Amino acid sequence: MKQKEAVYVISDSVGETAEFVVKAVATQFNGGSVDIRRNSYVEDAEDIEDVIILARQNNRSIIAYTLVVPELKRYLDRRAAEEGILAIDLLQPLMKAFEQKFEKAPNQQPGLMRKLDDEYFRKIEAIEFAVKYDDGRDPRGIIRSDIVLIGVSRTSKTPLSMYLAHQRYKVANVPLVPEVKPPEELFNVPRNKCVGLVISPDKLNEIRRERLKALGLTSQANYASFERILEELDYAEKIMKRVGCPVINVSNKAVEETASLILDILKKERSHT
């Protein structure tokens, strides 16, 4: 009976990269009917030997591997040559090119791709969190967040939430409006987790007037009036004092600058607890 084509994938990490490459190549040959058998987290010669035994029993098999630990790679190359098994290093040609062209040495550390993936998914999770708990939509986010931002409208709460989310912080923000009672959860937030955002009345008036203009509304609306602005800022200050959180004036600061200040302040607060 004719043996089926098989590719044994060996990796000192998950092996997803190697399997993906093998599948991409296999699709070019009769629709990719090759049998792919992944062997993840290979850590020693014994793990490699298990695959060598299986591949030796099928003369229509190949070993494709992504091993970055030199000792494991050398062992696999030697044993495959001894057994007459074709073993392909999927990383070496490109790693060699990187090394020569960029004049850098590889880390030779397994699992780095998985760490990058984990970082990526944490960032996506934080972004989704910031969207879900933006503008006080759900007070449950206050308890679940890494950082809580509070302030009146147009103090950059949403842009700051998104910027910090890209740095993998889960951020909830809560608008402070005199007519709306803040959620009770806000007063249970630890001091080292919440930051109040304030702004000068002149700057806020300017921003709100521009906002109204962009919306096609008259700049004389109550939203941009000095009387209303002073009322909101006074109310916000009282709430921030009650919460007991540190406060940042965002009047002439870029989002990046304010975000850096937030992280510095919270780091100091947490180091004192």
Residue 155 annotated as part of some ligand binding site: yes
Report long-range pairs for 58-62 (Cβ below 8 Å, ≥24 apart): 58/3, 58/4, 58/6, 59/3, 60/2, 60/3, 60/4, 60/5, 60/6, 61/3, 61/5, 61/6, 61/7, 61/8, 61/85, 62/6, 62/7, 62/8, 62/86, 62/87, 62/88
To the question of whether residue 156 is assigned a binding role by annotation, the answer is yes
65 and 9 Cβ atoms separated by less than 8 Å: yes
DSSP 8-class letter at 241: H
| Cβ–Cβ < 8 Å for 12, 68 | yes
| Number of helical H runs and strand E runs in the chain | 10, 8
Q: Is 273 annotated as a binding residue?
A: no
Is 84 within any annotated ligand binding site? no
17 is in an annotated binding site: no
- For residue 272, how many other CB atoms are within 10 A of its CB? 7
151 is in an annotated binding site: yes
State the virtual CA torsion across 8, 12, 13, 16 in degrees, nearest 10: -20
According to the annotation, is 152 in a ligand binding site?
Answer: yes
Buried b (16+ CB within 10 A) or exposed e, 119-131: eeeeeeebbebbe
- Binding site residue list for ADP: 151-158
- Binding site residue list: 151-158
